[in-house]
Amino acid sequence: MARGGTKSGSTRMEWYGQEVVNKINASLHARIMLATNLTRDRVVRNISRPGTKTDRSKPGEYPKLQTGNLQKSIFAETKQVAGGIEGYVGTPVSYGFILEERKNRKFLKDSLEEMQSTIKSIVTKKIT
């Protein structure tokens, strides 16, 4: 953004480039944080269906709530990286990986897929 004007026959120009870049970066960081947190909330909601030791999820379903450990372990974080900001949603518990990759209880991938249009809407919204 630049502003110009004449004063006594001269032109003065002010450059707001860094201010604009800072505003864009702050907006994108806030948007990525929002999208990441909403995705985490969707994962938690998707794995909140109660189950028992005899009533477990079937392949293709979201894992049913057994102890609550998986549900409580779901995290969301954002990181500043070269060239931008990245958001992560996951779990540190080892059986989360086993459920996701080996048992076909794709709670992370399917929740992310459900959120795609919401994420796109959040990230591509006009910056004001």
Q: Each residue of 30-89: pLDDT tens digit?
A: 999 999 999 999 999 999 999 988 899 999 999 999 999 999 999 999 999 998 899 999
Q: Cα–Cα–Cα angle for 19, 21, 27, nearest 5°?
A: 100
Max distance between CA atoms of the chain, in angstroms, equals 86
Q: Which residues contact 82 (CB under 8 A, 6 or more apart)?
A: none
Count the domains in the chain.
Answer: 1
pLDDT at 4 over 90: no
- The answer as to whether 37 is a domain residue is yes
- The answer as to whether 84 is a domain residue is yes
pLDDT at 102 over 70: yes
Nearest to 74 by CA among 108, 112, 104: 108
- The answer as to whether 7 is a domain residue is no
- The answer as to whether 93 is a domain residue is yes
Q: Which domain holds residue 83?
A: 15-124
* pLDDT score of 6: 52
- The answer as to whether 2 is a domain residue is no
Q: What pTM does this model have?
A: 0.83
**β-pairing, 2-7 with 84-90?**
unpaired
